[in-house]
Amino acid sequence: MRLVKIYDTTLRDGTQAEDFNISLWDKIRIAQKLSQLGVHYLEGGWPGANPKDRDFFTEIRNYDLGITRVAAFGSTHHKDRQPDADSNMQELLISRAPVFTIFGKSSVFQVKEILKTTLERNLELITSSLSYLKPKAEELFYDAEHFFDGFKEDREYALRSLQAAIDGGAQVLVLCDTNGGTLTSELVDIIKAVQERFPGFPLGIHAHNDSELAVANSLAAVELGCDHVQGTINGVGERCGNANLCSIIPGLKLKMGLDCISDANLKRLAEASRFVYELANMRPNRYQPYVGRSAFAHKGGVHADAVKKNPRAYEHITPETVGNTRHIPVSDQSGKASILMKARDFGLELHPNEPKVRLALEKVKDLEAQGYQFEGAEASLEMLLRAALGQYKEYFRLMSYRILDQKVGDEEAPVPEATIRVRVGVHEVHTAAQGNGPVNALDKALKKALLRFYPRLEEMRLEDYKVRVLPGFGGTGAKVRVLIESRDAHNRWGTVGVSHDIIEASWQALVDGINYKLFKDEQRPQ
């Protein structure tokens, strides 16, 4: 079976989307999730662009990503410097990534108006940049930026730019529809012209979605023989976004019969989609094909009746294939299969017909109806499922807490203080702490109360804190969902809380995080 390799650029191109903001540790967690999905390449960022991307390449070396190879992205060297004197080139080498992806100009307009150099100098930049990196890279890709627009304005120069990349040692020529304005019929003709000039040379596709054609153009390119497809999870990216891998992957595998990721990993696609939305603190697009919560929803009476008789009546694939579930309003179907699959990840073998397990699955369903989401909060889900099996231990019990947030004058910052009473076994502890905000004060007070009983809590850190207002009641009466990411010396984990009260939602997530830490410490060999 023909193999098409998936190159994910969510952590680089995807982060250029408006309102898509992720921390370094979010990037690490997304990288781990995408490695579980089985993408072949993961573009971690542009190490010469900012400290966060530079730090990513250092940190990611500590993680096993399976078959997924990390790629570092960069441009051709500066027109007034040589590669060995170019800081961006040196940052690529410092990243120690096994794969380098370099972009260069294919368009006469871009060379003259944006790069401000001569056409010949641009070709020299492409060849010399790739030649410099070639001996130091395990794999070397060339992104031909603005290729389709460049081809339409000056066919011969665009093709010469590809020859320059081949001369420099590029192993794959990635044709980029950078402005996203190329029609599929145009794209097909242009790729055929490239194949005629460079028969048999490996080609890739990088499409943007400004004409709502990024997925169609990517699939059309694969039909013509491109075996390297770049895109992002959920299609996030600058302007209207990049080609959406959540549509491309099932299109390749289920529609075109091509190998890209395994059947088992394909069942994780919806989970990966929601995970990325959650860590970016974005509301998922419920109408997104394949992975959206409404992708297999049947509201109309005729449709719902037909689907109950045979789902093929109104579904082009089975939702479970991509890790999604069928949804019929009023008689909602539980996402049992996906929960059971997550349980296996936790080392739990759950049998759905056992009464305790059925109750747990109903509890998850009820919590999700209230606004909980367990993507990005898998520790909360694991503790809930373990409780259903009788594996939950009460490490402490809240008696009460109180938050005081005092502000004196316009110029001074508020000074929050949390007072807390908890019971640990027969002991009752009453303590207080100040913090940078009420949640931080509550976190400090709780740990202060528990440290004498559980000293290993000293190594636990709250790494990230996200709040999202949930749809429903408007204004200050709305429900909020709090997602907290914690870490210790061994692990990272996410927990979730939901309430009309932001402090209560935060408390729920804090408690889950501490309970998860204490449970895992008990399981770890001493």
Give 355-373 pLDDT, tens digit per residue. 777 777 788 878 888 888 8
DSSP character string of 133-163: HGGG-SEEEEEEETHHHHHHH-HHHHHHHHH
Using the Cα atoms of residue 300, residue 303, residue 305 and residue 308 in order, give the sign of their dihedral: negative
Mean pLDDT to the nearest integer, 406-410: 78
Name which of 339, 329, 315, 308 is nearest 250 in CA terms.
315
Kindly report, as residue ranges, where domains of CATH 3.20.20.70 are found in the chain: 5-279
C-beta separation of 496 from 483 below 8 A: yes
Strand, helix or coil at 132? helix
Task: Tell me the CATH class for 296-333.
Answer: few secondary structures
Task: Give the highest mean pLDDT range of 122-131, 404-413, 468-477.
Answer: 122-131
Rounded to an integer, what distance in angstroms lies between the CA atom of residue 127 and that of residue 110? 17
| Residues 63-99: tens digit of each pLDDT | 999 999 999 999 999 999 999 999 999 999 999 999 9
What CATH topology corresponds to 5-279? TIM Barrel (3.20.20)
- What count of Cα atoms within 13 Å lies in the side-chain half-sphere of residue 458? 6
Q: What is the model's pLDDT at position 361?
A: 77
Mean pLDDT to the nearest integer, 491-516: 94
Kindly report, as residue ranges, where domains of CATH 4.10.430.20 are found in the chain: 296-333
Name which of 244, 249, 276 is nearest 33 in CA terms.
276
Question: Please, what is the average pLDDT of the chain?
Answer: 91
Q: What is the model's pLDDT at position 349?
A: 77
- What count of Cα atoms within 13 Å lies in the side-chain half-sphere of residue 467? 14
| Residues 206-241: tens digit of each pLDDT | 999 999 999 999 999 999 999 999 999 999 999 999
From residue 431, alpha-carbon distances to 420, 439, 504, 513 in Å are: 6, 15, 19, 20
Kindly report, as residue ranges, where domains of CATH 3.30.160 are found in the chain: 396-453
Q: What is the model's pLDDT at position 455?
A: 94
Which element (helix H / strand E) includes 214? helix 214-223
Q: Where does residue 4 rank: exposed (0-12), middle (13-18), buried (19+ CB within 10 A)? A: buried
Q: What is the DSSP letter of 470?
A: P
Q: 369 — alpha (psi -120 to 50), left (phi > 0) or beta?
A: alpha
From residue 173, alpha-carbon distances to 63, 198, 245, 318 in Å are: 29, 10, 19, 35
Helix, strand counts (H, E) of the chain: 18, 14
pLDDT higher at 293 or 84: 84
pLDDT higher at 414 or 339: 414
Task: Give the highest mean pLDDT range of 329-338, 341-350, 455-464.
Answer: 455-464
Strand, helix or coil at 332? coil
| Residues 2-40: tens digit of each pLDDT | 999 999 999 999 999 998 999 999 999 999 999 999 999
* Lowest-pLDDT range of 285-294, 367-376, 473-482: 473-482
Mean pLDDT to the nearest integer, 400-423: 88
Amino acid at 265: N
| Residues 181-196: tens digit of each pLDDT | 999 999 999 999 999 9
Q: What is the model's pLDDT at position 355?
A: 78
Name which of 518, 466, 396 is nearest 21 in CA terms.
466
pLDDT higher at 301 or 239: 239
| Other residues' Cβ atoms within 10 Å of the Cβ of residue 334 | 15
pLDDT higher at 336 or 136: 136
Rounded to an integer, what distance in angstroms lies between the CA atom of residue 503 and that of residue 414? 16
pLDDT at residue 334 greater than cutoff 60: no
C-beta separation of 35 from 42 below 8 A: yes
Mean pLDDT to the nearest integer, 341-351: 77
Tell me what percent of the residues of the chain surpass a pLDDT of 70: 95
pLDDT at residue 155 greater than cutoff 70: yes
- The tokens 């991509």 sit on which residue? 322
Mean pLDDT to the nearest integer, 149-157: 98
Mean pLDDT to the nearest integer, 478-491: 90
Quick one: pLDDT band at residue 330, thresholds 50, 70, 90? very low
Q: Where does residue 210 rank: exposed (0-12), middle (13-18), buried (19+ CB within 10 A)? A: middle
Rounded to an integer, what distance in angstroms lies between the CA atom of residue 376 and that of residue 51? 24
- Bridging pattern class, strands 139-145 and 99-105: parallel
Q: What is the model's pLDDT at position 142?
A: 98
Q: What is the model's pLDDT at position 186?
A: 98
pLDDT at residue 415 greater than cutoff 90: no
CB contact set of 422 (below 8 Å; sequence gap of 6+): 396, 397, 398, 399, 428, 429, 446, 449, 450
Q: What is the model's pLDDT at position 389?
A: 79
What CATH topology corresponds to 396-453? Double Stranded RNA Binding Domain (3.30.160)
pLDDT at residue 328 greater than cutoff 80: no
Rounded to an integer, what distance in angstroms lies between the CA atom of residue 206 and that of residue 221? 10
Rounded to an integer, what distance in angstroms lies between the CA atom of residue 362 and that of residue 380? 15
Q: What is the DSSP letter of 112?
A: I
Name which of 177, 196, 178 is nearest 187 in CA terms.
177
Q: What is the model's pLDDT at position 16?
A: 94
Strand, helix or coil at 252? helix
